[in-house]
Amino acid sequence: MIAFVATPIGNLKDITLRALEELRAADVIFCEDTRHTVRLLNAYEIKKPLYSCHKFNEREAAERILALSREGKRVCVVSDAGMPVISDPGNTVCAALRAAGEDYTVIPGANAALCALILSALPADRFTFAGFLPDKTSERRAALKRYAAARETLLFHCAPQDVDDYIALMFEAFGERRACAVREITKLHEESISFLLSEGLAGEKRGEYVLVVEGAKEQENPLNALPVREHVLAYMREGMGKKEALKRAAKDRGVPKSALYKETLDL
């Protein structure tokens, strides 16, 4: 028996009775960081053998999980917080189990992205979970370009040191939009701050963030889905001078020309 078990994202009381039941019944628990998981287990007086399953050893962990299950052991898989697999290790394990024909189940629970969506007050009827953006700036730009025309609300996980860069690149890719930065979800200092992408997010960045960004407007110019430089170039190719093209692109995006100028210095 293998179960992927959701754990609290902050407040230790946000664990389900079923999750506690499964963790207590387990013969072994695989976790992202044993030092982190042991604090949760100690809070509920659960003592079990812990083994690591993180992005650097997930394939080997998958083989061990499969072997233990076939020996008749009950195995739980958890991440540091929230649902395993979702922006956390575990997907390789799922794929290996499915390929081997081994059954597994999920014990649901806390989810940071969904909590942030509710706290943002942005439209929640349709949304896209984008998770973390790539590490390289060029790859981040390419990823955001794919989401630029999406009309549903967008959800991004973000480390504190990347918040300012994410927001700047989002403004470059999306133009002006409403957004909300949510942090410390379920904790004492839970915070959700609404802002415009052009304004950025003021203050010191601490803790893991979920950035919630409104989707594209239905009538939005399709050129807004392009990076700023390509947007301006599209008008220049129609015969406009750079100044006029920059003015038109800024109007399309609902931002001042100065907000786009630095992206077009080489044109």
Q: Kindly state the average pLDDT of the residues 106-135.
A: 97
Residue 257's pLDDT is 81
- CB-CB contact of 63 with 71 (8 Å): no
Residue 265's pLDDT is 80
**What architecture (CATH level 2) is domain 112-213?**
2-Layer Sandwich (3.30)
Tokens matching residue 215: 């989707």
pLDDT band at 1 (very low <50, low <70, confident <90, very high): very high
Q: In what order do the strands lie in the sheet with 127-131?
A: 127-131, 153-158, 209-213, 178-183, 191-196
The residues, ordered by sequence, that sit 6+ positions from 68 with a Cβ below 8 Å of its Cβ are 27, 28, 75
Nearest-CA neighbor of 254 among 212, 218, 224, 214? 224
Residue type at 181 in one-letter notation: A
Q: Kindly state the average pLDDT of the residues 220-244.
A: 84
Residue 228 scores a pLDDT above 90: no
What is the percent of the chain with per-residue pLDDT over 70, rounded to a whole number?
99
Helix (H) or strand (E) holding 65: helix 58-70
Tell me the three state secondary structure of residue 196. strand
CA pair distance 103, 97, nearest whole angstrom: 7
Q: How far is CA 16 from the centre of its chain?
A: 23
Residue 263's pLDDT is 81
Residue type at 177 in one-letter notation: R
Q: Kindly state the average pLDDT of the residues 101-130.
A: 97
- Establish whether domains 2-107 and 112-213 are of one fold: no
Residue 220 scores a pLDDT above 70: no
Residue 219 scores a pLDDT above 80: no
Burial bucket for residue 243 (CB in 10 Å: 0-12, 13-18, 19+):
exposed
Q: Which residues lie across from 7 on neighbouring strands?
A: 82
Residue 118's pLDDT is 98
pLDDT band at 95 (very low <50, low <70, confident <90, very high): very high
Residue 226 scores a pLDDT above 80: yes
Q: What is the dihedral of CA 62, 67, 68, 72, to 10 degrees?
A: 130
Nearest-CA neighbor of 90 among 65, 36, 54? 54
Q: Kindly state the average pLDDT of the residues 233-254.
A: 86
Q: Give the model confidence (pLDDT) of 46-65 as tens digits.
A: 999 999 999 999 999 999 99
Average pLDDT, the chain: 94
- CB-CB contact of 109 with 15 (8 Å): yes
Q: Which residues lie across from 195 on neighbouring strands?
A: 179
CATH of domain 2-107: 3.40.1010.10
pTM score, whole prediction: 0.80
Q: Give the model confidence (pLDDT) of 163-176 as tens digits.
A: 999 999 999 999 99
Residue 6's pLDDT is 97
| Residue with token string 């020996």 | 71
Where do the structural domains in the chain lie, given as residue ranges? 2-107, 112-213, 222-264
